[in-house]
């Protein structure tokens, strides 16, 4: 018997917390989960799910245009933003309720309240002031968008938290940032009918992704009519009669109806009472954990974005599951972070798994690159000026495939499947030995026979006559 009110108290009912709570309960633990907002967390409520719904909505624009090339006559389509917002809201409310129902079905007690740590094994429910003692506490409070840089008038700007529920579609949207969120929303809003401008402080979008893919995304954004400025920062946001004036470095000014700041996210650790329990944070305010998601305090664990390891939903879910198996299932599991597939849902979308060319060249002595840049079959009739890029990176010494990157329709779906092969340690020869499925874009991945470039550590650049830059045909 135990003196604790619960075996596990989970703070935050997002992807990681919900999975941990349910699995722990299935292992027989008495679990309480507290959520101050809506059950489901960022992914379900104001992240992946509503974003993907909006991506679908935006792509109809291309479909209507493309249809003509296939013999269809489409009357000029019109788009109703409030209708999309309402449909999206209905779906995420439903999903949130499913999450709640599944928690309850698993025997988890759900508390609709903010919860803060009162000590290493004590949590206070802010709504009632009630204290709950727990043998183990899991912090899974996620992260929130930052409003940076810290410039006058930044309070006028919105973040990805607000963008899903704007009362009307902005005619002119300025997006600050060039990461996942900035690129995805630029692509969405440009298709829904907004005039979109992006102000990016770097020299390109999507830092950290493969260089050729970054260029491909940049070109696709430009083709969508998005105005891109690189090497600029906002310095001031002012309210104007019709919206906002934004001053950028280099003296540029942009008028916009909405300004979306998408310059990263910060772990939600403020005011959680972590100091009451002595939990250590890193310099970004993320909770420091070991391979089993345990903090420096034995009874306290943390999973998901609040730990700032890999800020992706499936990773948080896996961390939550591994935590529950480790602590309550008697099966210690450290999450393996290798070969995590990821996608940027621009249009066309970018799907990737494993090393970029740049990472591979930094890590390996000899790297082979196989690349294709082609016009997708659909574009032959639609007339769309779209390119599909594919790239396989292999270790030239072992032939092992280190990374695969695709920019094109269904790239995310392909990346998910490629992740299995790469996780299994597939060699380029295994790709070559795989029969193609025709006619698909994906068949290109198993028919890429000609090396585009080989890089050797000692050699400054691509060697030999077969070192054509990606894009040359
Ligand atoms: P990202 O880290 O992806 O991008 C941030 C962008 O803002 C970069 O372009 C960065 O520039 C720029 N930036 C950072 N600080 C400043 C500043 N002070 N002034 C001006 N620009 C700045 O963050 P996001 O907000 O786009 O997304 C947050 C996280 O959410 C992602 O990292 C990802 O983990 C997750 N996410 C995943 C998605 C998916 O899986 N499809 C979709 C959306 C989000 P620089 O490159 O120079 O640093």
Question: Which three-class secondary structure state does DSSP give residue 226?
Answer: coil
Mean pLDDT of 241-250: 94
β-strand partners of 256: 244
Distance 76 CA to ligand 1 centre (A): 35
- What is the Cα Rg of the chain in Å? 24
For atom 16 of ligand 1, the residue with the nearest CA is: 263
Q: What is the largest CA-CA distance in the chain?
A: 74
Mean pLDDT of 350-354: 98
Q: Is residue 103 a contact partner of residue 23, using CB atoms and an 8 Å limit?
A: no
Run of H or E including 382? helix 377-382
Q: Is residue 96 a contact partner of residue 38, using CB atoms and an 8 Å limit?
A: yes
- Is the bond preceding residue 439 a cis peptide, omega within 30 degrees? yes
Mean pLDDT of 272-283: 96
405 flagged as catalytic: no
For the chain, how are helix, strand and coil distributed in percent, rounded to 5? 35, 25, 40
> Within 13 A of 391's CA, how many CA atoms are on the CB side?
31
Residue 464 predicted with pLDDT over 50? no
The answer to whether the CB of 201 is under 6 A from ligand 1 is yes
The predicted structure's pLDDT at residue 470 = 44
> Within 13 A of 409's CA, how many CA atoms are on the CB side?
15
The predicted structure's pLDDT at residue 463 = 54
Q: What share of the chain has pLDDT > 90, as a percent?
A: 95
Distance 337 CA to ligand 1 centre (A): 20
Which residue, chain included where needed, has tokens 């105005």? 227
Residue 350 predicted with pLDDT over 90? yes
Of 67, 60, 112, 102, the closest CA to residue 83 belongs to: 60
The answer to whether the CB of 157 is under 6 A from ligand 1 is no
The predicted structure's pLDDT at residue 108 = 98
The predicted structure's pLDDT at residue 251 = 83
Q: Is 118 exposed, middle or buried (0-12, 13-18, 19+ CB in 10 A)?
A: middle
Q: Is residue 304 a contact partner of residue 319, using CB atoms and an 8 Å limit?
A: yes
Q: Is residue 285 a contact partner of residue 266, using CB atoms and an 8 Å limit?
A: yes
Least confident of 59-63, 338-342, 433-437, 458-462: 458-462
Band (pLDDT 50/70/90 cuts) for residue 466 is very low
The predicted structure's pLDDT at residue 460 = 53
Mean pLDDT of 159-176: 98
Q: Is residue 301 a contact partner of residue 287, using CB atoms and an 8 Å limit?
A: no
Band (pLDDT 50/70/90 cuts) for residue 187 is very high
Residue 472 predicted with pLDDT over 80? no
> Within 13 A of 28's CA, how many CA atoms are on the CB side?
4
The answer to whether the CB of 233 is under 6 A from ligand 1 is yes
**Topology annotation, domain 154-263:** FAD/NAD(P)-binding domain (3.50.50)
Of 43, 47, 38, the closest CA to residue 114 belongs to: 38
DSSP assignment string, 442-466: TTHHHH--S--EEEETTSSS--STT
What is the overall mean pLDDT for the chain? 96
pLDDT digits over 372-407, tens only?
999 999 999 999 999 999 999 999 999 999 999 999
Reported residue count of the chain is 473
Q: What share of the chain has pLDDT > 70, as a percent?
A: 96
Query: Which atom of ligand 1 is least distant from the CA of 202?
Result: 47
pLDDT digits over 97-122, tens only?
999 999 999 999 999 999 999 999 99
Query: Which atom of ligand 1 is least distant from the CA of 343?
Result: 41
The answer to whether the CB of 69 is under 6 A from ligand 1 is no
Distance 264 CA to ligand 1 centre (A): 4
The predicted structure's pLDDT at residue 99 = 98
- Is the bond preceding residue 109 a cis peptide, omega within 30 degrees? no
**C-alpha span between 278 and 120 (Å, rounded):** 8
Domains 6-143+266-328 and 154-263 share a fold: yes
**C-alpha span between 18 and 344 (Å, rounded):** 25
The predicted structure's pLDDT at residue 250 = 82
**Topology annotation, domain 342-456:** Enolase-like; domain 1 (3.30.390)
Q: Order the strands of the 234-239 sheet from edge to edge.
A: 234-239, 244-248, 253-256
Query: What are the residue ranges spanned by the domains of the chain?
Result: 6-143+266-328, 154-263, 342-456
Which own/partner pairs from 464-470 qualify as long-range (CB within 8 Å, at least 24 positions apart)?
A: 470/212, 470/369, 470/371, 470/373, 470/389, 470/391
The answer to whether the CB of 55 is under 6 A from ligand 1 is no
Mutate which of 44, 149, 264 for ligand 1 pocket (most atoms within 8 A of beta carbon): 264
Catalytic position from the list 27, 245, 321, 438? 438
What's 6-143+266-328's CATH class?
alpha beta
């Amino acid at each position: 018997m135990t003196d604790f009110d619960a075996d596990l108290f989970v703070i935050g009912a997002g992807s990681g917390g919900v999975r941990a709570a349910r699995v722990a309960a299935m292992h027989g633990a008495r679990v309480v989960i507290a959520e101050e907002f809506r059950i489901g967390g960022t992914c379900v409520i104001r992240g992946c799910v509503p974003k993907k719904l909006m991506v679908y909505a935006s792509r109809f624009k291309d479909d209507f245009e493309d249809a003509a090339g296939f013999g269809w006559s489409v009357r000029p389509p019109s788009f109703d933003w409030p209708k999309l917002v309402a449909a999206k809201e209905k779906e995420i409310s439903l999903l949130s309720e499913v999450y709640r129902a599944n928690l309850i079905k698993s025997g988890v007690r759900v508390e609709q309240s903010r919860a803060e740590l009162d000590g290493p094994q004590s949590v206070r429910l802010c709504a009632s002031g009630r204290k709950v003692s727990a043998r183990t506490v899991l912090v899974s409070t996620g992260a929130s968008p930052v409003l940076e840089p810290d410039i006058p008038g930044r309070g006028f700007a919105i973040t990805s938290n607000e963008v899903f529920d704007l009362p009307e579609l902005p005619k002119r949207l300025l997006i600050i940032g060039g990461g996942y969120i900035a690129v995805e929303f630029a692509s969405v809003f440009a298709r829904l009918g907004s005039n979109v401008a992006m102000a990016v402080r770097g020299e390109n979008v999507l830092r950290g992704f493969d260089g050729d893919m970054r260029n491909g995304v940049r070109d696709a954004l430009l083709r969508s009519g998005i105005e891109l400025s690189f090497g600029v920062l906002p310095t001031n946001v002012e309210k104007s009669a019709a919206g906002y004036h934004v001053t950028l470095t280099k003296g540029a000014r942009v008028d916009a109806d909405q300004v979306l700041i998408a310059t990263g996210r910060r772990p939600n650790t403020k005011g959680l009472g972590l100091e009451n329990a002595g939990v250590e944070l890193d310099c970004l305010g993320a909770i420091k954990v070991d391979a089993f998601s345990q903090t420096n305090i034995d009874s306290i664990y943390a999973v998901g974005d609040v730990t700032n390891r890999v800020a992706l939903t499936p990773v948080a879910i896996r961390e939550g599951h591994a935590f529950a198996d480790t602590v309550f299932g008697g099966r210690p599991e450290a999450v393996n972070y290798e070969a995590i597939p990821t996608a940027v849902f621009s249009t066309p979308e970018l799907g990737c798994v494993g090393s970029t060319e740049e990472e591979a060249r930094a890590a390996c002595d000899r790297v082979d690159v196989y690349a294709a840049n082609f016009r997708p079959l659909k574009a032959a009739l639609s007339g769309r000026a779209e390119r599909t890029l594919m790239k396989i990176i292999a270790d030239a010494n072992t032939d092992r495939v280190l990374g695969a990157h695709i920019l094109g329709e269904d790239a995310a779906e392909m990346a998910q499947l490629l992740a299995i092969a790469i996780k299994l340690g597939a060699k380029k020869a295994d790709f070559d030995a795989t029969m193609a499925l025709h006619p698909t874009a994906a068949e290109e991945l198993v028919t890429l026979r000609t090396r585009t470039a080989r890089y050797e550590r000692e050699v400054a650049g691509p060697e030999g006559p077969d070192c054509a830059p990606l894009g040359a045909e």
